[in-house]
Amino acid sequence: MSKKSRQAVKPAKVRDVFAARPFAGLAAEAELVALRELVPAATAPLKLTGDYAAKYGDRDITLATVLPMAWPALTKPDGRIFIGLQRNERSGDINRDITVALLNALETEPGATVSTPALPGEGPRLADVIVNEPLEITMHEGFDFWLDTDQERDEQVNASLEAANAAIYPTVRMNSAHAAYWCRVPGKSHVRWVLPDAEDKAMDALSRLSAAGHLKLGDDTKFAGMFRAHSLLVPVFDLPLEAEAATWEEPLSLLADRYAAAKTDEPLSPEERRAKQGLLGRQLALR
């Protein structure tokens, strides 16, 4: 959504739209949702737009799934900035929360604590401050990226880091579909895929696939259900426990092709409408 179109909407409606789909209009919307909801440890560099780059210079800014103690942001002594997606304090407008954390970090002395307001109010949004482009995501097996290689680690720091790392389920970013992630949890493995389309369009496409018997990744897999995350649908597929993530790249690529072909404007057939009702009844108790 452009700055001009945002200004044309009444403030109450603006807040409703942003609360429901906070990253709408961003090229990385689906990946941002995945990093907030699915991925334990990952980072991606951010670049400031022209006006902010001119004001703050060529700052090293890293978006992280989560920071120590779920901090909104932190600055390193050398001026590097980390911004956390998964955080404790939120106003209900996630986009503004993250934007204000970034702007406040840019104004904070290197190495000092970044202060962020509980209610950031209206103002610049991510699309105004960072270059609107896909994310270059780096996956991490643990949270060691929190600390620099030359940073001292006492027993408390090591214990905290060890506890955080122990809570991570193995997670792999899939190459064959945008914003899809394989993970292994106790007893099974999954592929979870954040669909980039509006909910109605995505649901109809999934319904067509389900009616045709094509909503799975292979004979030994099944569609487990789906959940909503920031108004995007996230289908979940149950997989055999032992097979590694690479096993599912080709099946997921084929499913992505089928999904793309199923995104038509044609009305659903009676069979597809019945399939849609079945899908609506298979929503998982996840955000």
| Beta-strand relationship, 61-66 and 81-86 | parallel
pLDDT at 286 exceeding the cut of 90 = no
The angle at the Cα of 16, spanning 101 to 206, to the nearest 5 degrees, equals 100
In CATH terms, 171-280 corresponds, of 3.30.2010, 1.10.1760, 3.30.1460, 3.30.70, to 3.30.1460
Mean pLDDT of 60-74: 94
Q: With a threshold of 0.85, does the pTM exceed it?
A: yes
Higher pLDDT among residues 89 and 199, named by residue: 199
- The set of residues, in sequence order, having a beta carbon less than 8 Å from that of 97 and lying 6+ positions away, is 72, 87, 89, 90, 91, 116, 120
Mean pLDDT of the chain: 90
State the amino acid at position 157 in one-letter form: V
The full set of domain ranges for the chain reads 3-166, 171-280
Alpha helix segments (H runs only) across 79-118: 94-107
List, for residues 177-194, the tens digit of each pLDDT value.
999 999 999 989 999 999
* Confidence at residue 139, expressed as pLDDT on a 0 to 100 scale: 97
Element (H, E) at 280: helix 270-280
Higher pLDDT among residues 70 and 283, named by residue: 70
Terminal Cα-to-Cα distance of the chain (whole angstroms): 24
